[in-house]
Amino acid sequence: MEYKKSRRNFLKISSTAVLGTIVGCSYSSLTKGDTKATGLAAIYNTEEFLLSGPANRTFRIQVSHPYADNPDYTLMKQGVTPVPVYVLDGGYAFGMFSNIARYLQWGGLSPIMVIGIAYKDMIAAGDHYRMYDFTPPDKNFSSRYDDTLGPESVGGAPGFREFLIGTLKPLIENKYNVDASKSILFGHSFGGLFALNTMLKSPNAFNGILALSPSIWFKQHQLLKALRNGLDNDFQFSGKLAVYVGGKEEEIAGKKYKMTSNVEELKAIVLEHSSSFVGYDIKILTDRTHHNILGQGITEGLEFLLS
């Protein structure tokens, strides 16, 4: 499963498109008639700002505001304070997540403020940043994609977690009117691994965890060992947990990574200690892969966590 390569290609294409617009390229050859590109397309009612973080990173913090109350939409909840959802890998997930959240709001789900966490340098993000920021230290790490990457390429999760919880989260809660008591952390792949580790390391930081296709294989399945050990020693999570994986992931990635089996094992561990969780929804999404799981996974996850 070449999630690193595919994400890298996406980021390079996106960055090239942005650069082309900034320097004034018109892309008219891609359109019919006299239509010309006049600027970047924007998502309605969103904003962004830059924020310094660990490892000399500059983060692009993206904020998507929910729709305003509208009594014409009879299913919409009126007068409800938005729930903040922190979205890792905002560079590729922010737009999709924002639009899904807004459609769900029209359908009766609580309003959501989406906070995307992206990088100012999108190319470096695809190549190196996210792998470092989302993973715990592993002195034996070696990359299957790039033999120049070793243990120094991973292990930044403690610093990134401190930034997320100690800097970004308070900033959002002070700057915007959000219901901090219901905050949710979302991550996919390495981001899913980070989200699950954050539940274990800082169980009171978020009220909901949504992890899609988590890279539980990392560091010889350390996450499963830590989860079992924590639950055996009275670990409690006062929020809800949603973990989904695609039914085709193990077939595509190979049995070495056990993408589907790892989530099944995680579910078995949670079931043994079900009283340690307020609620959980852990399942395989049939016919989904590592990448097309996102639409369905985000929708089902938000509906469960905010129900």
Q: What is the largest CA-CA distance in the chain?
A: 68
Residues 6 or more apart whose Cβ sits within 8 Å of residue 119: 57, 58, 59, 60, 91, 125, 129, 130
Contact 193, 223 (CB under 8 A): yes
Residue 23 binned pLDDT confidence (cut-offs 50, 70, 90): very low
Residue 293 has pLDDT above 90, yes or no: yes
206-251 tens-digit pLDDT: 999 999 999 999 999 999 999 999 999 999 999 999 999 999 999 9
Domain ranges of the chain: 43-305
> Where is pLDDT greater, at 149 or 81?
81
Write down the pLDDT at residue 40.
Answer: 82
At 254-269, the pLDDT tens digits run 888 999 999 999 999 9
Taking a C-beta distance cutoff of 8 angstroms, is the pair 290, 3 a contact?
Answer: yes
Sorting pLDDT into bands at 50, 70 and 90, what band is 24? very low
Q: Which of 3-12, 79-88, 173-182 has the lowest mean pLDDT?
A: 3-12
pLDDT bracket for residue 301 (50, 70, 90):
very high
Q: Is residue 11 very low, low, confident or very high in pLDDT (cuts 50, 70, 90)?
A: very low
Please list the alpha-helical segments (H only) found in 23-109: 90-106
Confirm if 1 and 214 have CB atoms less than 8 A apart: no
| Amino acid of residue 2 | E
Q: Residue 72: its pLDDT value, please? A: 93
Rounded-to-integer distance, Cα 228 and Cα 237, Å = 13
Q: Is pLDDT at 278 greater than 60 in this prediction?
A: yes
Q: Lowest-pLDDT range, 86-100, 142-156, 237-251?
A: 142-156
Q: How far apart are CA 279 and CA 210, in angstroms?
A: 12
Residues 58, 59, 65: CA angle, nearest 5 degrees: 150
Q: What's the pLDDT score for residue 33?
A: 61
Q: Which fold has domain 43-305?
A: Rossmann fold (3.40.50)
- Which stretches within 134-258 are classed as H helix? 157-163, 169-175, 190-201, 218-232, 249-253
Q: What is residue 38's predicted lDDT score, i.e. its pLDDT?
A: 77
Q: Report yes or no: 172 and 198 within 8 Å, Cβ to Cβ.
A: no
pLDDT computed for residue 36 by the predictor: 76
Distance in Å from the first CA to the final CA of the chain: 33
Rounded Cα gap, residues 180 and 172, in angstroms: 9
Contact 202, 157 (CB under 8 A): no
Give, in degrees to the nearest 5, the angle at Cα 39 between 38 and 42. Answer: 130
Residues forming a β-bridge with 86? 115, 185
Q: Average per-residue pLDDT in the chain?
A: 89
Q: Residue 34 — pLDDT band, cuts 50, 70, 90? A: low
Say how far apart CA 210 and CA 75 lie, in whole Å. 24
Query: Which residues, in sequence order, are bridge partners of residue 285?
Result: 246
What is the per-residue pLDDT for 207?
98
| Stretch 181-187: mean pLDDT | 98
Residue type at 90 in one-letter notation: G
The Cα–Cα gap between 166 and 38 comes to 39
pLDDT band at residue 29 using 50, 70 and 90 as cut-offs: very low
Lowest mean pLDDT among 34-38, 190-194, 201-205: 34-38
Report the pLDDT value the prediction gives residue 122, as an integer from 0 to 100. Answer: 81
